[in-house]
């Protein structure tokens, strides 16, 4: 039984035509984060943002979350952050009917120079984490109804 990892989005639901798409990998044994590489080339102007669909999905146990962060070098040296600062990908996002679990990263350029992205550039890091729930936990919904940004759909 698989418990956690990454897969490619099914072909008919991909947002890009990247031929060199790679699954996230850790840089070394001491790295907690898996590097996400861009499937597109783009330029983000100062004070603008861009939603990058990775064409990758993550599977994990029900009590886990995938946390997305900007790469420290992009943030400190270039002023590029995730628009929502930290992204959470719920376990129920995997294989959803809207986009097959496609992980989207919205990058924002807070710097004063264009931020150039080439296909294959590392644009974010993600890590798997366990989370805790309250003793009297009672979710609003028993299952996820949609994709990106839809965990509060009733």
11-66: per-residue pLDDT in tens?
Answer: 999 999 999 999 999 999 999 999 999 999 999 999 999 999 999 999 999 999 99
Q: What is the CATH number of domain 5-130?
A: 2.70.40.10
Check: CB of residue 68 under 8 Å from CB of residue 124: yes
pLDDT band at 112 (very low <50, low <70, confident <90, very high): very high
Check: CB of residue 26 under 8 Å from CB of residue 33: yes
Element (H, E) at 81: strand 80-82
Bridge partners, residue 116, by sequence = 43
Q: Is the pLDDT of residue 151 over 60?
A: no
Q: Which tokens sit at 87?
A: 């992204």
CA 143 to centroid of chain Cα atoms: 21
Query: What's the DSSP call for residue 74?
Result: H
pLDDT band at 104 (very low <50, low <70, confident <90, very high): very high
Query: What's the DSSP call for residue 153?
Result: -
- Single pTM value for the model: 0.88
In whole angstroms, what is the distance from residue 83 CA to residue 53 CA?
A: 14
């Amino acid at each position: 039984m698989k418990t956690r990892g990454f897969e490619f989005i099914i072909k008919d639901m991909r947002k890009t035509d990247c031929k060199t798409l790679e699954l996230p990998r850790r840089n070394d044994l001491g790295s907690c984060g898996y590097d996400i590489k861009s499937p597109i080339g783009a330029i983000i102007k100062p004070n603008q943002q861009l939603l990058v669909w990775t064409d990758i999905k993550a599977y994990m146990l029900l009590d886990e979350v995938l946390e997305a962060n900007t790469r420290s070098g992009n943030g400190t040296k270039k002023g590029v952050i995730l628009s929502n600062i930290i992204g959470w990908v719920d376990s129920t996002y995997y294989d959803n009917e809207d986009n097959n679990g496609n992980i989207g990263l919205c990058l924002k350029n807070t710097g004063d120079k264009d931020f150039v992205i080439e296909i294959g550039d590392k644009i974010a890091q993600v890590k798997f984490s366990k989370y805790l729930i309250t003793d009297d936990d009672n979710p609003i919904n028993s299952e996820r109804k949609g994709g990106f940004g839809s965990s509060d759909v009733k």
